[in-house]
Structure 1
Amino acid sequence: MSVDPYAVLGVAKTATQDEIKKAYRKLAKQLHPDLHPGDAAKHAEFQAVSAANDLLGDPEKRKRFDAGEIDASGQERPERQYYHHYADQDAGGRYAPEGDTGGFQDASDIFSDLFGRRQQGGAGARGHGFHARGQDLRYNLDVDFMDVARGAKRGVTMPDGNRIEISIPPGLKDGQTLRLRGKGGPGFGEGPAGDALVTVAVRPHPVFKRDGNDIEVDLPITFDEAVLGAKVEVPTISGPVTMTIPKGVSSGRRLRIKGKGIDPGKGAAGHQFVRLKIVLPDHIDAKMEELAESWRDHAGFDPRKDLRRET
C-alpha cells in the first residue's frame, strides 16, 4: 500500500503551500535524529516526513502527484512511462502489444528495459538498464546569527544517519537555501544521487540587528558621557572596538563604524551603525538632583520648541 504524503504531514489535500511548510517544520523539529539518537522508529518517521515534504513542498511535483502522474516517492508510474515511450506513435498503436514496439519483442520487454530487468527466454530481448538521477531532498536548518554574520562550518546529521559538514557563507539570508550536491536521494542504476536543499532559518541575536550587510546596535551611554563626550567600548560582530562619543550628543544620535558590518566576500563590507541611548541610573542621588536643578534654573533650554512649531 502506498503512503499518503498528506497523511504523513497531517494536512488536508486542500492545504496551502504555506500550511504544508509549517506542518513539515513542526514535525522535523520534533523528529530530528539529533533529538532521538539511536531511535530507529523516530528516524524512520523523520525520513517519511522529509520525503513527503520533498513531494508536496514542490508545487510542480505536488500537481503531478495529485494528477496521478507520479507516486508518493516522486517516481513516474509504470503506465505513464509506457505511455511516454509511445507518445510519438499514432493513436491506434500506442497501447496495442502487436503494434510497432521499436525493436522490443513485447510490451513486458519494454519494462525490462526501463527497470534493468532482462526478459527471460526471449532471444531478441534487450535489457539496457534504467538510469535516473535521485530525488532532491529538502531540509530546514536553524543557525545562529553569528554563523551567517561571520560564516561558519556546522556538522549536521542527515536522515540516513550520516553526519556531514555544511559551509555557511557569510551574508547568508534568513530563508535562503543551500544546495549540497550529491547529498540527496540515491540514483537509480548508474544515475547520480540527487541534491540536498537546506533552507536556513536564522535565530535572532540579542544585541545585533541586520539591515542588508549593515549591522545596527543600540548603545546605552551615561548622562556625563553624553554631555562631556567619552571613549567607550562597542561590540561588533568581529569583536569589541573603541568608539568616540562626541560632546553634547542626544539619545537617538546614530554613529557609524566603517567596515564593521557583514563582509560577504564579494564587494565592500557593510558598516555598523550605533544608535545612542542615554540611560540614567535607577536611583538618582541628591548630588545629581542638585546638579539638574541648577542647570534647569539658568539654561532655558526647550527641546520641544520645534515640535510645537510644526503643529
Structure 2
Amino acid sequence: MADDYYQLLGVPRSADAKEIQRAYRKLARTYHPDVNKQPGAEDRFKQISEAYHVLSDPESRAQYDRFGPDFRHYAGAEREYASQGAGGARGGGRTRARPGASGFSWSSAQAGAGPGGASVDWDDLFGDVFGSMRGMDSEAELELSVDEAFRGGPRTIILSGPDGDRQTFEIQIPPGTLDGQRIRVSGGGRAGRQDGGAGDLVITVRVRSDKRLRLDGKNIEMDLPISPWEAALGANVSTRAPGGPITVRVPAGSSSGRRLRLKGQGMPQPGGKPGDLFARVKIMVPPRLNDRERELFEQLKRESSFDPRSSS
C-alpha cells in the first residue's frame, strides 16, 4: 500500500496504542460498509483497517517503522537469513514470512483474520462504536407465470441462508403482481448487531411470459386462434383468459395480427385501475382436409377475387 499507515489513521508516529485505537474507531464509524454506502467507502475502510492491524501490533509496527511499506518483504528476508545462519542454509529448510494483513477485507476480518493470523473479536471492537444496528436486507427473485401473478395467493419459498442452512418463508403474492414488483418480508434478512433487529428479505418478482400469454406492464396480450371462416364472417369466440372463461367478439374481415381490446380484463390492481386484455387474432387452417372441405375451398378459390398480396 502506497499510503503511509500513520497518515491514514491521522496520528503522529509517536502515537501510543490508545491513540491509534481511538483514531481507528472514529474512522471506522465513518467508513464501515454497514453504515456508509458511498462509492469508495469500503476500499477506504480496508485501508484504515490494514493500517490499524499493523500499527496496533507491537512487532508488526516495529517492522513497519524500520522497513516502511515493504516491511513484510524485508522482515521475511531477514527472518529467512537468520534461520539459515551466516554459513548458509541448514538442512535445506526455508522459513516463510508470517502472513501479514495484505489483502485484508472487512468480511475476512469478521471471520477472525487479523495480522499475523491473530484472531480479532469484532463484537468487542465495534460494540461501543456502532451499538445496536439493524441487520442488512437480503434479496431474492421469484419467477411466476402470468396466470400465477394474475391470481396471486400464498406461496412457499425455500432459500439458502448465509451459513448454508435452508430457510422457509411463507409469503402472500398480491393479485395482479407485475414484473419487477418487490415484496418485503419483515425480519427475513440478516441478523442485526447486539439488540438491533434483523433486516428484511426483499423478493423481486419476475413474471414469465409463455407462448400463450405475455405481460406488457399491467396489460396482458394473448393469442386468439380462430378459423378462416370465423375471421371472414365474424364470430363470438370462447376462450380461456387468466381471469377465467371469456367470449371475444371477432369482427368480420379480421386478419391475423389484429388486436382486440377487452377493457379492464388485464392485471388487477387493488386500489387502482386494472390493465386491459388484448386478444391477438391468429388464423388457423385445418392441417388436413376431407373431401368435402377440399371441394368447398376449391370452389371458394374459383369464385373469390380476393388477392391478399395486392391488399397488403
Check the 8 A contact 1:141/1:201 in 2, yes or no.
yes
Q: How does 1:96-245 map to 2 (within 5 A)?
A: 114-115=126-127, 130-158=131-159, 159=161, 160-245=165-250
Check the 8 A contact 2:256/2:281 in 1, yes or no.
yes
Check the 8 A contact 1:169/1:264 in 2, yes or no.
no
Normalization by structure 2: what TM-score? 0.56
- Can you list the C-alpha shifts for 1:8-42, whole angstroms capped at 9, x where unaligned? xxxxxxxxxxxxxxxxxxxxxxxxxxxxxxxxxxx
Check the 8 A contact 1:113/1:129 in 2, yes or no.
no
Check the 8 A contact 1:129/1:189 in 2, yes or no.
no
Partner residue, 1:71: 106
Check the 8 A contact 1:132/1:190 in 2, yes or no.
yes
Check the 8 A contact 1:137/1:196 in 2, yes or no.
yes
Partner residue, 2:272: 267
Normalization by structure 1: what TM-score? 0.57
1:294 to 291, 299, 303: 299
Partner residue, 1:124: none
Aligned length: 208
Task: Please report how far the alpha carbon of residue 301 of structure 1 lies from its aligned counterpart in structure 2 after TM superposition.
Answer: 2.0
Q: Which runs of 5+ in 1 are unaligned?
A: 1-55, 80-110, 117-127
**Matched letter for residue 220 of structure 1:** P
**Largest Rg, 1 or 2:** 2
Task: Please report how far the alpha carbon of residue 263 of structure 1 lies from its aligned counterpart in structure 2 after TM superposition.
Answer: 0.9
**% of aligned pairs identical?**
36
**Matched letter for residue 146 of structure 1:** D
- Can you list the C-alpha shifts for 1:169-206, whole angstroms capped at 9, x where unaligned? 23433344332222111111111211212233333334
Could you say what the CA RMSD is over the residues aligned between the two structures, in angstroms?
Answer: 3.5
Q: How does 1:271-286 map to 2 (within 5 A)?
A: 271-286=276-291
Task: Please report how far the alpha carbon of residue 283 of structure 1 lies from its aligned counterpart in structure 2 after TM superposition.
Answer: 0.9
Q: Are residues 137 and 249 of structure 1, via their aligned partners in 2, closer, same or farther at CA, if it must alter by over 3 Å?
A: closer
Q: Distance in 2 between matches of 1:72 and 1:61?
A: 17
Q: Which runs of 5+ in 2 are unaligned?
A: 1-32, 50-104, 115-122
Task: Please report how far the alpha carbon of residue 210 of structure 1 lies from its aligned counterpart in structure 2 after TM superposition.
Answer: 0.9
Q: Are residues 252 and 143 of structure 1, via their aligned partners in 2, closer, same or farther at CA, if it must alter by over 3 Å?
A: closer
Task: Please report how far the alpha carbon of residue 212 of structure 1 lies from its aligned counterpart in structure 2 after TM superposition.
Answer: 1.3
Task: Please report how far the alpha carbon of residue 143 of structure 1 lies from its aligned counterpart in structure 2 after TM superposition.
Answer: 2.8
Task: Please report how far the alpha carbon of residue 211 of structure 1 lies from its aligned counterpart in structure 2 after TM superposition.
Answer: 1.2
Q: Are residues 281 and 73 of structure 1, via their aligned partners in 2, closer, same or farther at CA, if it must alter by over 3 Å?
A: farther
